[in-house]
Structure 1
Amino acid sequence: MTQHTLERAFSDLDFAMMSRAIKLAKRGIYTTAPNPNVGCVIVRDEEIVGEGYHHRAGEPHAEVHAMRMAGEKAVGATAYVTLEPCSHYGRTPPCAEGLIKAKVARVVCAMVDPNPKVAGRGIQMLRDAGIEVQIGLLEQDALALNPGFIKYMRTGMPFVQLKMAASLDGQSALSNGQSQWITSPAARQDVQRYRAISGGILSTSKTVIDDNASLNVRWDDLPNSVQAQYLQEELRQPVRVILDRQNHLTDALKLFHTDGERVIVRSDGDCIPLLDSAHQIDLSTTLKRISDEHHINHLWVEAGATLASAMIKANLVDELIVYLAPKLMGSDGRGLIGALGLSAMADVIDLNITDVRMVGVDIRITATIKRNEIR
């Protein structure tokens, strides 16, 4: 069945209610990780009788909030859920079982849960109980809600966003290393928002030392729109992962005197030693390990040209977030990306530009890498 044929199977009310469920799910983007963002709307006789979203891991799921609100009005109703209801016992009971007990008549799921513990079992449980189940309404919107959760469940690796900032002529710093500040306060607020969404921030000891960076989420620097919707204590601090192969970090740095978990990747000692055959940090293995051990499925990378090029060459970047400031710094500045070892135009890395917008006076470009294999 094509997407067009699939969408014709749904009514205007179905579209409206799933759109509302997706909007509800977005309320959890700063609080829910590593769990997925999920929204649920329960409708009976074309009226909303219950709705909710998943707030935080370990707390009730979206369906539970919606069913509590609906009460007995859930009987014979339709539940719109952005992700297949879970079918297993974790920190909370299975939502599919709850919907069965609530006696809903129909469940519309935007997408199947990629978690191997679910993966269609919730849908089958509902159907076995005599509940009508339809799948695929606004699936692309639902996929966009949880890039980290989905990628980790499918591949065991985190969704990686690489952030870079440069002048309009592509320089990330002056020749003497000065770079504060290339971008505007509005762009730096935008970066705080991305940090808050992620489960972890990856950087290098050089970046931390050069900027004396704390790499945490600073409440006062978040956009007003975020501060208006959340309490400060609701927002989580991402895990800060620092690559420090030569053990340059010292306790005097801000990194060690600000809230939030830290993971230091070093060549020896009691930290994570992950070196490849060339005695460089094995980036792929590092990302896999920190994802598994620290429950990071969405990783935000802030670092200089060397790590940026290494991540790209290792084919570990899912999305580029590039801020371009209306400044010129000259060819004697420091470039945005390190050497990629290219010698032919056929090997140049092509990008898909997915979004371009102004953030303050700066341009923010969002892009993905076209090629499946980076040489």
Structure 2
Amino acid sequence: MADTELAAMRHAARLARVVLGRTSPNPPVAAVILDPAGHIVGEGATRPPGEEHAEVLALRAAGDRAGGGTAVVTLEPCNHTGRTGPCTEALIAAGVARVVYAVDDPNPVAAGGAQRLRNAGLQVVAGVLRDEVADGALRAWLHGVAQARPLVTWKFASTLDGRTAAADGSSRWVTNQVSRADVHALRDTVDAVLVGSGTVLADDPQLTVRQVGGVADGELAARQPLRVVLDRRGRVPRTARVFDGAAETLVLDTAVPRFALKALFDRGVRHVLLEGGATLAGAFLEARLIDDVVGYVAPKLLGDGTGVLRDAGITTMAEAVFLSVVDVARLGDDVKITGRPVWADSGNVRRED
């Protein structure tokens, strides 16, 4: 494996992250074309459904320079005709000599691309940086193929003693401006933002992606995730900010997380950001439907007020859900902790000394 190909794969992985939230239900894939000397001559990342896939865009940018070169792709090139043609045929027609990809396509409809390329005489190398790429931009999509539901990231902001609001109900602002900007960057990568009716009634959030700070403070981003409100009893008034037209809003008349996620999956949603209150988060946790946790913790103490989580079905310390910590970062004086729940029957149990 040439160093240029490894570098190209890492570059492709970064390119794929740029289109997160913009390709579902298709996977966020990126491709890099190297000429025979190993120089990058084209690159591309998957566009919204119905538009070109990464390989086609990269080949177009490369033009004749793709001949005899190498295509480096984060996902096995597709071998089926849907709203667009097979990427395998585009690679063959361009005269590419070698294809290097990271992750096998688990979708039986699109799989078989590697064998089609080999049958056409191309050299194919699979599994390059597979784990690294699968845990990156492709993670939510791969989760959807395996679980038939969206990946759920629960986001919360709290004081150091676990309060999301003070005793008088005030909650602006728990965290600092850097953390708030990071939340908007997180929203920009997901397909949908989900809350319960209680959060809408208490806080009247807009649930959009906006600029935080600077001359453009409060300005809406061009692309917005779907806003989802669980409102089983029809309590949310049409005057709520989630109906302001800044983004599409879906109201689901259910309080059952699994039903909500099924409805969203059927709409093409592959990554949900859960921003609801403590009770809704507890329901998702109790149902084991939280896949990632992103906590923004401010160096403040309230002593009383609204807690981060409740009604999660946990009654003893032995039942506490352990989080495998993925990352810890300083955001000004705040701390951002990213973790993934480790379930007791998953075979990956934390054991205390």
C-alpha spacing 1:342/1:49, structure 2 compared with 1 (3 Å): closer
CA distance in 2, matches of 1:140, 1:222: 36
Letter aligned with residue 127 of structure 1: R
Which whole-Å CA distance do the structure 2 matches of 1:122 and 1:170 have between them? 49
Is the CA contact (8 Å cut-off) linking 2:22 and 2:48 kept in structure 1? yes
Matches within 5 A, 1:21-60: 21-29=12-20, 31-43=22-34, 44-60=36-52
- Counterpart for residue 85 of structure 1: 77
Give the corresponding residue for 2:67: 75
Question: Is the counterpart of residue 355 in structure 1 residue 342 in structure 2?
Answer: no
Counterparts of 1:134 and 1:105 in 2: how far apart (Å)?
Answer: 12
SS of residue matched to 1:193: helix
Change (3 A) 1:67 1:372: farther
Runs of 4+ in 1 over 6 A off after TM superposition: none
Which consecutive residues of structure 1, in runs of 5 or more, have no partner in the other structure? 1-9, 267-273, 275-280
Whichever residue aligns with residue 17 of structure 1, its letter is A
Identity %: 40
Quick one: distance in 2 between partners of 1:324 and 1:27?
26
Query: Which of 236, 241, 263 is matched with 1:289 structurally?
Result: 263
Once the two structures are overlaid, the 10-residue window that deviates more, 245-254 or 295-304, is: 245-254
Say which is worse superposed, 169-178 or 319-328, in terms of deviation: 169-178
Per-residue Cα deviation, 1:151-187 (whole angstroms, up to 9, x for no partner): 1112111010001111111111112322111111111
Q: TM-score scaled to structure 2, two decimals? A: 0.91
1-side partners of 2:309 and 2:207: how far apart? Answer: 20
CA contact (8 A) 1:315 1:373 kept: no
Q: 3-state DSSP class of the match of 2:143?
A: helix
For 2:193 and 2:278, locate their aligned partners in 1 and report how far apart those are by CA, in whole Å: 16
The residue correspondences of 1:1-375 to structure 2 (distance < 5 A) are: 10-29=1-20, 31-43=22-34, 44-119=36-111, 121-143=112-134, 144-218=136-210, 220-221=211-212, 232-233=221-222, 235=223, 237-266=224-253, 274=254, 281-292=255-266, 294-330=267-303, 332-371=304-343
Cα distance in structure 2, aligned partners of 1:113 and 1:223: 42
Which ranges of structure 2 fall in alignment gaps of 5 or more residues? 347-353
Partner letter of residue 169 of structure 2?
G
CA distance in 2, matches of 1:310, 1:33: 26
Q: Does the Cα contact within 8 Å between 2:21 and 2:191 map onto a contact in 1?
A: no
Equivalent AA in structure 2 for residue 15 of structure 1: L
Post-superposition offset of 1:135: 0.6
**1:30 CA displacement:** 5.0
The answer to whether the 8 Å contact 1:34/1:297 transfers is: yes
Q: Once the two structures are superposed, what CA deviation does each residue of 1:184-219 show, in whole Å capped at 9, x if it has no partner?
A: 11111111111111101110111112111111222x
CA distance, structure 2, for counterparts of residue 185 and residue 130 of structure 1: 55
Give the distance between the partners of 2:69 and 2:47, measured in 1 at CA: 24
The answer on whether the counterparts of 1:34 and 1:199 sit within 8 Å (CA) in structure 2 is no
> Alpha-carbon deviations, 1:343-366, whole Å to 9, x = none?
433222111111111123211110
- Count of matched residue positions in the alignment of Structure 1 and Structure 2: 341
Per the normalisation by structure 1, the TM-score is: 0.86
Return the structure number with greater helix share: 1
Q: Distance in 2 between matches of 1:71 and 1:287?
A: 42
* More divergent stretch after superposition (56-65 vs 202-211): 56-65
C-alpha distance in 2, partners of 1:187/1:76?
A: 47
Q: Measure, in 2, the Cα distance between the counterparts of 1:75 and 1:245.
A: 58
Task: Give me the CA root mean square deviation.
Answer: 2.1
Maintained 8 Å contact 1:40/1:63: yes
Q: Post-superposition shift, 1:69?
A: 2.2
| Cα drift, residue 222 of structure 1 | 8.1
d(CA) in 2 for partners of 1:118 and 1:368? 29
Deviates more, 1:237-246 or 1:333-342: 333-342
How many Å separate the matches in 2 of 1:16 and 1:299?
A: 31
Check the 8 A contact 2:22/2:191 in 1, yes or no: no
**Alpha-carbon distance between aligned partners in 1 of 2:298 and 2:160, rounded to the nearest angstrom:** 6
Query: Post-superposition shift, 1:221?
Result: 2.8
Q: Quote the residue 2:349 is aligned against.
A: none
Q: Matches of 2:199 and 2:175 in 1, distance apart?
A: 17
Letter in 2 for 1:346: A
What secondary structure, in the 3-state scheme, does the structure 2 residue paired with 1:82 have? Answer: strand
Residue 25 of structure 1 and its aligned partner are, at CA, apart by 2.1
